[in-house]
Amino acid sequence: MYTANSGRRNTLGDISLLYVAVLARAISREGMDPQPLLARFDLDECRLGAPDARISIPRFMRLGHAAVELTGNPALGLLMGELTRPVDTGRAGLAAQTAPDAGQALSTLIHYDLLTSQNSRGQPSMGPGRGYAEFYSIRPYNAFNFFVVDSVLAGWTQFLRLITGRTQVLAKVTIEYPEQGLDAEFERWFGCPVSFGEKHNRVYLAPGLSSLPSQQSQPAMHRLLCEDCNQALSRLQSGWGTADRVRDKLTTLLEGAPPRLEHLAEELGMTPWTLQRRLTQEGTGFRALLDATRKDLGLEYIRETRLAFSEIAWLLGFSGAAAFHKAYLRWHGCNPGEHRRQLNKA
């Protein structure tokens, strides 16, 4: 997992520059030139033209926030969704559009999401019976990440409209972050009730939509493209040991309190004893991995975000800011405030 700018692994996650290209189109649609903004973020045509290049999640959020400020459109995420084509989601989008029906198409798109986006906070999912699609929580919400939720949910909606040929594809939408005074605009765009301040970020498919045939369906190409996606996933995850799988899971389970070994073992489909034994064989243990994961994530939150220390403490599963400060001092020899100032000067 590498950024397009430095080649350095980013613990918080990264996203394909294909999505930056969509953002650039949205800026252009608003009548603005995206090139000066992209240049500020060291994104030139060479980087944008590399199909496997990525940008760190925090940097993408700062870029999106700057784009919202540039265009003056707080609903820019909706426009991004409207302008997203299947090809803009890479192999996953190409495989998804050839699926036999709308439910399988959206499920395919989400199943292979890791090929274009990796986030320490989780991965999107489909609900039972493919009745809804859910984007994971990226709390705490602020002006830097509203557009992310908007663009993902709108992108799924636009995808369903494209493959079914229908404009009315949803029954309702629920969004985690509080309403921002754009309720009417969101309901017009999604064409259904939209409620904010909810427990989940979800788009609920209209009754019967999941079984509608895709207008882009092509069974032979769907099989071929899914095989290609599976091979790409295997390459992405090749060489992962038990410790790698544990760290990958830990990053999604830390919020509010650290997970127990038993919970993690269940998530990985093994017994606690088996998990402990395998970690011992790899020369590590659960507590060591938990501490190392918190250390890496803590540094990235300090370096890459403007989150308050109390918010970072919650994201890392500490009881409060004081506990986070104590751990950070042990990890880096200075408190997080001092380290953030040092990093900002660098």
The 3-state secondary structure of 177-221 reads CCCCCCHHHHHHHHCCCEECCCCCEEEEECCCHHHCECCCCCHHH
Average the pLDDT over 117-145 and give the result. 94
- % the chain with pLDDT above 70: 97
pLDDT digits (tens, 9 = 90+) for 238-270: 777 899 889 888 888 898 888 899 999 998 888
Average the pLDDT over 11-23 and give the result. 93
Give pLDDT, residue 191. Answer: 98
Q: Can you give the residue ranges of every domain in the chain?
A: 74-234, 242-345
The first and second tokens of residue 207, run together, are 């009754």
Q: How many other CB atoms are there within 10 angstroms of residue 163's CB atom?
A: 25
**Alpha-helical runs (H) found in the chain:** 17-29, 35-40, 45-48, 57-71, 76-83, 90-97, 102-111, 146-164, 183-190, 219-237, 242-253, 261-267, 272-281, 286-304, 309-315, 321-332, 336-345
What is the layout of strands, in order, in the sheet containing 201-205?
Answer: 125-126, 132-135, 201-205, 170-174, 194-195
Contacts of 260 (CB under 8 A, 6+ apart): none
The first and second tokens of residue 279, run together, are 């970690």
| Residue with more model confidence, 245 or 108 | 108
| Residue with more model confidence, 49 or 124 | 124
CA-wise closest residue to 30 among 80, 89, 87:
80
Q: Is 310 exposed, middle or buried (0-12, 13-18, 19+ CB in 10 A)?
A: middle
Distance, in Å, from the CA atom of 232 to the CA atom of 73, rounded to the nearest integer, reads: 36
Would the pLDDT of 28 be above 60? Answer: yes
Helix axes 183-190 and 146-164, enclosed angle (nearest 10): 20
Q: What is the mean pLDDT of the chain?
A: 92
- 146: Cα separation from own chain's centroid: 12
| 242-345: CATH class | mainly alpha
Give pLDDT, residue 10. Answer: 62
Calculate Rg over the CA atoms of the chain: 21
Helix axes 336-345 and 321-332, enclosed angle (nearest 10): 60
Q: How many other CB atoms are there within 10 angstroms of residue 176's CB atom?
A: 18
